[in-house]
């Protein structure tokens, strides 16, 4: 009887010791590997081993206060110069003016009655040719515009540059036009006059006006050179304004460091 009791006690001790040993093993495995042997199909991940996620960084806006008036002026001038370069390139193509409704040169207002009269007399093709040649003259002359505009931009002093930067989408273009329109006209007019003769617009328009005067008994005249010069310059300004707006509103259009720095500042206005 005593032997049986001792045997049972020994057995219980052995089972208890094994259980303790197994608990120690489970605890060690769990602490070292994170695997819970009590529930091996659902391993738990240590909180310190979480996957690091990268948060996309936003391009921080430059503090406007850190920019000098000189830097802002340089950025505005660069945007204007880019607008001139791109605009002139597009306008100088065949139909650059004629097929672009935003800049197409129409019959001069004081001569629109000629257009109506000629069409009523079955001479619409002559009127169409007159308008087409005005645009052809602009397309030819505008190739000479870039250096004239660039000179005006580089020599321009931009007063209150910060306010211009923080103003409307085409504020810099409007400022340029206000400050340089007259000097641009003076420099550009001889180019237009040459182009009017080159494409034959002057001859066609003399014929067109002559026919009108003959049929109506009137004596209509106009200065085509002045008209086409003004309209061509205005066309370039429209293209520059479009470019300025895109630079202001589309960060991808800011292709130089000065554009990124200056127009990045106005993003937070």
How far apart are the C-alpha atoms of 198 and 137, rounded to whole Å? 8
pTM for this structure? 0.73
How far apart are the C-alpha atoms of 78 and 76, rounded to whole Å? 5
How far apart are the C-alpha atoms of 236 and 233, rounded to whole Å? 5
**Which are the contacts of 184, defined by CB distance < 8 A and separation ≥ 6?**
148, 149, 152, 233
Domain residues of the chain, as ranges? Answer: 64-268
The per-residue pLDDT string of the chain (269 residues; one tens digit each, 9 = 90 and over) reads: 444 443 333 433 344 444 454 454 455 445 554 545 455 544 444 433 333 333 333 333 446 778 899 999 999 999 999 999 999 999 999 999 999 999 999 988 878 888 888 888 888 888 899 999 999 999 999 999 999 999 999 999 998 999 999 998 999 999 999 999 999 999 999 999 999 999 999 999 888 888 888 888 888 777 899 999 999 999 999 999 999 999 999 999 999 999 999 999 888 66
CB 85 within 8 A of CB 70: no
Q: Rounded to the nearest 5°, which phi and psi values hold at 254?
A: -85, 85
How far apart are the C-alpha atoms of 77 and 115, rounded to whole Å? 41
Per-residue pLDDT, 96: 98
CB 127 within 8 A of CB 107: yes
How far apart are the C-alpha atoms of 102 and 156, rounded to whole Å? 27
CB 225 within 8 A of CB 154: no
């Amino acid at each position: 009887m005593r032997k049986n009791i001792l045997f049972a006690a020994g057995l219980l001790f052995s089972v208890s010791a094994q259980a303790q040993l197994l608990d120690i093993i489970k605890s060690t495995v769990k602490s070292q590997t994170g695997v819970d042997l009590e529930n091996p199909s659902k391993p738990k991940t240590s909180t310190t081993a979480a996957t690091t996620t990268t948060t996309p960084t936003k391009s921080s806006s430059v503090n406007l206060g850190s920019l000098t008036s000189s830097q802002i002026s340089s950025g505005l001038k660069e945007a204007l110069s880019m607008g001139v370069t791109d605009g002139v390139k597009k306008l100088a193509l065949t139909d650059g003016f004629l097929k672009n409704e935003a800049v197409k040169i129409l019959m001069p207002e004081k001569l629109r009655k000629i257009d109506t009269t000629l069409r009523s007399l079955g001479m619409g093709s002559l009127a169409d040719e007159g308008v087409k040649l005005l645009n052809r003259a602009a397309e030819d002359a505008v190739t000479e515009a870039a250096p004239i505009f660039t000179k005006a931009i580089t020599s321009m002093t931009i007063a209150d540059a910060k306010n211009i930067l923080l103003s409307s989408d085409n504020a810099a273009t409007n400022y340029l036009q206000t400050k340089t329109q007259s000097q641009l006209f003076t420099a550009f007019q001889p180019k237009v006059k040459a182009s009017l003769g080159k494409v034959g617009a002057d001859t066609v328009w003399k014929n067109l006006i002559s026919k009108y005067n003959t049929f109506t008994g009137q004596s209509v005249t106009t200065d085509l050179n002045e008209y086409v010069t003004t309209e061509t310059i205005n066309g370039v300004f429209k293209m520059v304004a479009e470019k300025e707006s895109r630079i202001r509103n589309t960060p991808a259009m800011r292709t130089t460091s000065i554009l990124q720095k200056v127009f990045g500042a106005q993003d937070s206005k």
